[in-house]
Amino acid sequence: MTRSIFTLSLMMMLLLMLPGAARAASADEIDARSDAALERLFAQTAEARPLVERAKGVLIFPRVIKAGIGIGGEYGEGVLRIDGSPVQYYNTAAASVGFQLGAQAKSQFLLFMTQEALDAFRAKDGWEIGVDGSVTLVRIGVGGTIDTTTARAPVIGFVLADRGLMYDLSLSGSKISRIDR
């Protein structure tokens, strides 16, 4: 029990040491960071732009902080855009247990490719990936192309880290909830 409390305390201290992690972002900050994150995504893979333009809605988490020492957690705030305009703000949170040490920042993008998928997402206040809906993560094929099966999925996900597009990362277990901004 004491070790768990120590681990959680240490993890929280690590999160608080990260720049900007200790306070909630304003709507303007989330919007500006989302614009920048989208531009980084488009620079990494040109095929992302037509998918974003075709999507019925795009949920952008421009900065998700993941940290852990044995027990880990991640948190980020983002915006749902429909036709390019912000309509609602959300947070994403997840927890994990296992061998882990350190911290990382990444951007996450969920593209709702069908109106049904978007409506199902918006109808829930506490949407959990893998439970309330599945997300097909983008895999880049030979020559930098996106797999055609992926491009037809109802919900498509991209994860972008400082070092570029992350390919085999799971988003399962992430819970997404509405927030006021």
Distance separating alpha carbons of residues 118 and 155, to the nearest angstrom: 8
Burial of 115 (0-12, 13-18, 19+ CB in 10 A): exposed
- Look at 67 and 158; give whichever has higher pLDDT: 158
Contacts of 14 (CB under 8 A, 6+ apart): 67, 69, 103
Nearest to 57 by CA among 125, 115, 107: 115
Domain-by-domain residue ranges, the chain?
2-179
As a whole number, the mean pLDDT across the chain is: 78
Contacts of 176 (CB under 8 A, 6+ apart): 59, 90, 91, 92, 121, 126, 127, 128, 129
The pLDDT tens digits for 93-111 are 887 766 656 677 889 999 9
Cβ atoms within 10 Å, residue 118 = 22
Whether 82 and 127 have beta carbons less than 8 Å apart is answered as no
Selection from 89-98, 112-121, 172-181 with the highest mean pLDDT? 112-121
